[in-house]
Amino acid sequence: MGNTATHCAYCALQCAMTLTADAGGRVTVGPRDFPTNRGGLCQKGWTAAELLTSPHRLTSPLLRDDRSAPFREASWDEALAVVAAAIHATQAEYGQDAVAVLGGGGLTNEKAYQLGKFARVALRTKNIDYNGRYCMSSAAAASNRAFGIDRGLPFPLPDLAETGAVLIAGGNVAETMPPFMQHLAPVVDRGGSLIVADPRRTATAERATLHLPVAPGTDLALALGLLHIAVADGHADRAYIHDRTTGFDAAWRAAAQWWPERVERVTGVSVQAQRATVAALAAGARGRGAVVLTARGAEQQSKGTDTVTALINLTLALGLPGRPSSGFGCITGQGNGQGGREHGQKADQLPGYRKIDDPAARAHVAGVWGVDPDDLPGPGPSAYELIESLGTDGGPRALLVHGTNLAVSSPRGRFVAERLAALDLLVVSDVVLSETAALADVVLPVTQWAEEDGTMTNLEGRVIRRRRAVAPPPGVRTELAVLTELADRLDCKAEFSDDPETVYDELRRASAGGVADYAGIGWDRIDAEGGVFWPCPTTGHPGTPRLFADGFPTPDGRARFVAVEHRPPAEDVDAEHPVYLTTGRILQQYQSGAQTRRIPALAAEPHVEIHPDLAGRSGLADGDLVRVVSRRGDAVGRVRLTTTIRPDTVFMPFHWGGEQAVNRVTNPALDPVSRMPEFKVCAVRLERVPREAHAAPTATRGRRPRRVVGPDRLPSGAKELAPHEPTD
């Protein structure tokens, strides 16, 4: 097939690459120049092609009649007949909402759109949400209420390099998007400021001019304190506030109570560092510009929406949004985290970022779909609330999963496994036998990344092309084909297509007139221009690389300050659980690890970062195994001593399942607005695991790992740790 220009399989930076396929179907990855990655790739990108030919790849539908039985291989015809019959029977007995769907922010725009349509039109269920709820929802909610729009970055990434000061609250891009650092380095090299708020002195913080070692879950107090200093020290841009915003007075009243000494006591960030931060941002505002960015550290909290809001308030007070190389942005996470939240797989949403409870939106989309608006369901619950309701009285009895490994990535993992076990039917479409797929009744093998065409929308809001470089293995189908065939078997009269460009052109019509308007972005244009920024309402429109220069898409054209109050984490430390746990990512592994744990070159083991002082008090030495225990469960990892973390906090990455899944420990307390779980802070205690006791860790609970056919055990990369098993 020769060379194919496409983008990476993984994160929202969507680094450009050229795939070269040889006659035997082997694919090699080469970097490609693009404004976002400028020829850079990280380890995951370089090795992304390995999963195409991995022995772990699913190539046949798997079925079982009873969850204690092993899977057997089945034909597509049999598997889809079983799924359709079970959906029919479930809905006949319990109603339309008894079938639920969970989607993912890694799906192409076409797949995300078709999945939302399938749920609303073929299943007619309100119960659909997606894993972006765990990712972008707090930043999205805060951006929507402040700016009337939620697009991760308000400008192309290279604009960042031009600015004078950057504050990153809770993001570790040096590990999560390494080529992103190319846009931060020039800021520092020119004598500007890079400030990073993180409980850990991360690889990103090492490159910063100032590190704010904030206590987990206290960014809201910090943000209020920064606004306090900005206003008290006379840095507020009064003309901008007057001309371009509303609500300043109430926001200021809330921040007035957060004087620097009080903020220092709550956050651990010194008064001096707070002042230096504001001085740097204010200097930027007067000069080349200033940018505040958030990522999951500040957002994945039970007050994440208010935290992001408080940081947006700070940027508004400094007069930044809409000015060149200035403003607020959030760093989107998943490959299509941006597009995945625009086209209708979210519980409250229809394509084009429309609201499902807006009569005009319903009428427009129903028109495109050829159905009666009254037949469209209303809003459903958020991802975690949907999971909580599975198999309960009145809750869904069947679940279809597309592009999320929720058994590993959802908080309170053991409870999540119980809910999945309570279902009558679990159907998982995936490329590998993920922990979630291993719990299913039916597993459907679908195409991945380099085997399919489509579009993705990257962290800048730039719509780009994913291109097929190789044919999928025999036995694997595209998700568009699966949904089309299932819709047919469910006697759905609306049109579904397995051709991605046909689906995309329908998406354009469905999005026309919405906030995320793709109507003018045809594939031909993306191919010719390398990418087009939404909103882009007509084929003659240039697209919108930069937002807000002429106003905000709110009813009065002004940005809104929203007054917010600080509150502590949902669960604070106490005598029994005296240590904060925070969670996140490492460079080599991606998300639940379903893909990257199967790539030998990325092998890594679960570890727990601990400050030597805390380790000493807890009787732990470097290399020990430690059990991290909360009120909800426990997880085991290897002690890694480091002085780069706060002594009151431990950090564990979430890329593993079974006993190594930190999400057995995390707190599902939800943000009241975004319904984001509090992944970034809970209270734990640490227990040293004696080696001999760990030899049979799961047997102590009387459970044995389930055996499955196909690619069974995951390479955990940690020989002395328990072999991988589904989360119990």
Ligand X SMILES: Nc1nc2c(c(=O)[nH]1)N[C@H]1C(S)=C(S)[C@@H](COP(=O)(O)OP(=O)(O)OC[C@H]3O[C@@H](n4cnc5c(=O)[nH]c(N)nc54)[C@H](O)[C@@H]3O)O[C@H]1N2
| Nearest CB to ligand SF4, comparing residues 173 and 721 | 173
Residue 292 contact, options ligand X, ligand SF4, Mo ion, none, Cβ 5-8 Å cut-off depending on partner type: none
User: Rule CB under 6 A: is residue 11 a binding residue for ligand SF4?
Assistant: yes
Q: What span, in angstroms and rounded, lies between the C-alpha atoms of 647 and 30? A: 42
Q: Which stretch binds Mo ion (CB under 5 A): 240-248, 331-339, 476-484, 593-601?
A: 331-339
The one segment of 6-14, 431-439, 466-474, 485-493 that binds ligand SF4 by CB under 6 A: 6-14
Cβ proximity to Mo ion, 338 vs 389, nearer residue: 338
Q: Give the separation between CA 534 and CA 536, rounded to whole angstroms.
A: 5
Closest residue by Cα to residue 503 from 360, 380, 344: 344
The entry of ligand SF4, ligand X, Mo ion, none that residue 477 binds, CB within 5 to 8 Å by partner kind? none
Residue nearest to ligand X (CB): 333
Question: Of the candidates 99, 135, 221, 442, which one interacts with Mo ion according to CB under 5 A?
Answer: 135
Strands of 237-323, DSSP E: 245-246, 290-294
333 binds Mo ion (CB under 5 A): yes
Query: What is the torsional sign of CA 47, 49, 54, 60?
Result: positive
DSSP annotation of 344 reads: S
Q: Amino acid letter at 558?
A: R
Which residue number, 244 or 607, has a Cβ lying nearer to ligand X? 607
Q: How far is the CB of 411 from ligand X (least distance, A)?
A: 7
Which residues are bridge partners to 545 per DSSP?
A: none
**Least distance between ligand SF4 and beta carbon 333 (Å):** 10
Rounded CA-CA distance 553/320 in Å is 16
Q: Among 474, 452, 470, 424, which residue's Cα sits nearest to residue 73?
A: 474
* Interaction mask 153-172, ligand X, x per CB under 6 A: ----------------xxxx
- Do residues 98 and 87 lie in contact, with contact meaning Cβ atoms separated by under 8 Å? no
Report how many residues bind Mo ion under the rule CB under 5 A: 2
Annotate each residue in 176-205 with x if it binds ligand SF4 (CB under 6 A) or - if it does not, as one string: -xxx--------------------------
Shortest spacing between CB 181 and ligand SF4, in angstroms: 10
CA proximity to 584, closest of 637, 496, 519, 662: 662
Q: Which does 585 bind (CB under 5 to 8 A by kind): ligand X, Mo ion, ligand SF4, none?
A: ligand X
Q: How far is the CB of 409 from ligand X (least distance, A)?
A: 3
Asked if residue 403 binds ligand X (CB under 6 A), the reply is yes
322 is a contact residue toward ligand SF4 (CB under 6 A): no
Verify binding: residue 174, ligand SF4, rule CB under 6 A: no
Q: Which of 44, 303, 577, 611 binds ligand SF4 (CB under 6 A)?
A: 44
Distance in Å, CB of 108 to ligand SF4, minimum: 15
- Measured from the CB atom, the residue of 342 and 485 that comes closer to Mo ion is 342
| Secondary structure class of 659 (helix, strand, coil) | helix
Residue 298 sits in the site that holds ligand X (CB under 6 A): yes
Place of tokens 């990325």: 602
Burial class of residue 326, CB neighbours in 10 A (0-12, 13-18, 19+):
buried
Distances (CA, A) of 684 to 242, 480, 572, 582, 605: 46, 43, 9, 10, 21
The whole-angstrom separation of Cα 633 and Cα 165 is: 41
- CA dist 365 and 433 (Å) reads 35
Q: Output the smallest distance, CB 458 to ligand SF4, in A.
A: 9
Q: Are 606 and 653 in contact (CB under 8 A)?
A: yes
Nearest to 142 by CA among 194, 217, 220: 220
Cα angle 703, 705, 711; round to 5:
170
Nearer to ligand X, 164 or 171 (CB): 171
- From 608, 111, 125, 694, select the one nearest 396 (Cα to Cα): 125
Is position 380 an interface residue for ligand X (rule: CB under 6 A)? Answer: no
Q: How many residues comprise the chain?
A: 728
* Residue 215 interacting with Mo ion (CB under 5 A): no
Task: State phi, psi for 413 to the nearest 5 degrees.
Answer: -55, -35
Q: Contact region for ligand X (CB under 6 A) — 54-62, 120-128, 372-380, 674-682? A: 674-682
- Window of 174-182, 247-255, 437-445, 596-604 that interacts with ligand SF4 by CB under 6 A: 174-182
Torsion angle of C-alpha atoms 227, 230, 232, 237, degrees rounded to 10 = -110
Is 13 an interacting residue with respect to ligand SF4 (CB under 6 A)? yes
Question: Per CB under 5 A, which region of 83-91, 193-201, 333-341, 535-543 contacts Mo ion?
Answer: 333-341
Build a one-symbol-per-residue string for 618-657: x at contacts with ligand X by CB under 6 A, - elsewhere: ---------------------------------x--x---
Structure tokens at 439: 């719990």
Binding segment (CB under 5 A) for Mo ion, from list 71-79, 226-234, 328-336, 530-538: 328-336
Q: Which stretch binds Mo ion (CB under 5 A): 128-136, 365-373, 457-465, 691-699?
A: 128-136
Please tell me what DSSP assigns to residue 215.
Answer: P
Do 511 and 351 touch, CB atoms closer than 8 A?
yes
Candidate list 58, 128, 173, 547; residue touching ligand X; CB under 6 A: 173
Using only C-alpha atoms, the chain has a radius of gyration, in whole angstroms, of 24
Which of 414, 418, 410 is closest to 390 using CA atoms?
418
Q: Is position 10 an interface residue for ligand SF4 (rule: CB under 6 A)?
A: yes
Binding site for ligand SF4 (CB under 6 A): 8, 10-11, 13-15, 37, 41-42, 44-45, 177-179
Binding site for Mo ion (CB under 5 A): 135, 333
Binding site for ligand X (CB under 6 A): 11, 104-107, 131, 134-135, 169-173, 175-177, 197-200, 202, 214, 216-217, 219, 295-298, 300, 333-334, 402-406, 408-409, 429-432, 434, 446, 448, 479, 582-585, 587, 589-592, 594-595, 651, 654, 662-663, 666, 679-681
